[in-house]
Amino acid sequence: MKALVTGATGYIGSKLCDRLLAEGWQVNAIVRDSGRSPPERWEGKIQPIRYDGTTQSLMDGVAAIAPDVVFHLASLFIAEHRTEQVADLIASNILFGSQLAEACARAGIQHFISTGTSWQHYRAETYDPVCLYAATKQAFEDILDFYADAFRMKIVTLKLFDTYGPDDPRPKVVNLLLRAARTGEPLAMSPGEQRLDLVHVDDVTRAFSLCARHLIDDRTEGHAQYAVSSGASITLRQLAGLIEQVSGKQLNVTFGARPYRQREVMEPWRGGSPVPGWEPKIDLKSGLASIIDSSKGNSSPCF
């Protein structure tokens, strides 16, 4: 089976590519001319498709590959945007995805998996985006409704919660706490009562792979939306305590040294349906322990 992946040089995208290769997929990755180069471990394994900003470049690449499934993970995440970042958010999260969907529709590619966010549902509303980033995700989801109806494409949007895992370079809260445990550096944080729903990256990529099988086996019609959730939550304060317990090191964290963000998510959204046949396999304590254990004795940035 042939896969086309966007966002392949990002954290979750790279882990998905590794999983697809291990499962025997032929993997192709869309790479921006100005973007990061694919890692050396993919040399000879993943074919890069260059995107120069035009719809035509995507149409040419999609038509040449004729993928069985498109995995669209490319995204620009900004929790609190500045005015000058509006154009970049629109270009990355709406324009590029729309160009890709158009290229797929014109090439007759029917199977498309997109990536949304639980942040589209602030205060558990059907639609109340936490921030402009989440609003762009919802806008693209609405665009995909058009392609599903007009071109009979079979589309899945996976709405992700907080993600974590080994070798994660992102400045996510888990990584900040793990680094603080390793270095002993002080860490100023909010009061810490917000609850987090943390899903291990291996469980996340397994959800993408399973959805691809559903699409190929004609078990999905129209545009389906699923929540990739652990089904549990933990406060930021509790997370810090768990990392202390697992690592055996005391954190130098000052809670309340920073205010909550505007529109801080205090409780995770619980309104989504899970991927049929999927459930998380890696609990948070085991996931954190495996990161710490794998990091000991090497130069990992996590621990």
CATH number of the domain that residue 104 is part of: 3.40.50.720
**Residues 158 and 181 grouped into a single domain:** no
| Residues in contact with 9: Cβ distance below 8 Å, sequence separation at least 6, in sequence order | 29, 31, 35, 36, 37, 38, 39
Cα dihedral across residues 203, 208, 211, 212: positive or negative: negative
Is the residue at 274 inside a domain?
Answer: no
**Residues 147 and 216 grouped into a single domain:** yes
Is the residue at 38 inside a domain?
Answer: yes
**Residues 148 and 90 grouped into a single domain:** yes
**Residues 14 and 126 grouped into a single domain:** yes
**Residues 108 and 127 grouped into a single domain:** yes
Tally of domains in the chain: 2
pLDDT for 299 equals 47
Q: Residue 59: which domain range? A: 2-163+199-228
Is the residue at 222 inside a domain?
Answer: yes
Predicted TM-score of the model (pTM): 0.94
Is the residue at 102 inside a domain?
Answer: yes
Taking phi first (over 0 means left), then psi (-120 to 50 degrees means alpha), and beta for anything else, what does residue 211 get? alpha
**Residues 192 and 223 grouped into a single domain:** no
pLDDT for 249 equals 95
**Residues 6 and 128 grouped into a single domain:** yes
pLDDT for 298 equals 56
**Residues 238 and 105 grouped into a single domain:** no
Place of tokens 């959805």: 211
**Residues 216 and 153 grouped into a single domain:** yes
**Residues 137 and 96 grouped into a single domain:** yes
Q: Are 9 and 38 a contacting pair, CB within 8 Å?
A: yes
Place of tokens 């109340």: 128
Rounded-to-integer distance, Cα 143 and Cα 97, Å: 9
Is the residue at 114 inside a domain?
Answer: yes
**Residues 101 and 189 grouped into a single domain:** no
Is the residue at 303 inside a domain?
Answer: no
Is the residue at 53 inside a domain?
Answer: yes
Is the residue at 275 inside a domain?
Answer: no
Angle of CA points 80, 84, 89, to nearest 5°: 65
* CATH label of the domain that carries residue 179: 3.90.25.10
Query: Where does 64-161 show beta strands of DSSP type E?
Result: 69-72, 111-117, 154-160
**Residues 224 and 128 grouped into a single domain:** yes
pLDDT tens for the chain, residues 1 to 303: 999 999 999 999 999 999 999 999 999 999 987 667 777 788 889 989 999 999 999 999 999 999 999 999 999 999 999 999 999 999 999 999 999 999 999 999 999 999 999 999 999 898 899 999 999 999 999 999 999 999 999 999 999 999 999 999 999 999 999 999 999 999 999 999 999 999 999 999 999 999 999 999 999 999 999 999 999 999 999 999 999 999 999 999 999 999 999 999 999 999 999 999 999 999 999 999 999 987 765 544 444
Across the beta sheet with 154-160, what order do the strands follow?
A: 46-51, 26-32, 2-6, 69-72, 111-117, 154-160, 223-228
Q: Which of 99, 69, 105, 76 is nearest to 208 (CA)?
A: 69
Rounded-to-integer distance, Cα 133 and Cα 145, Å: 19
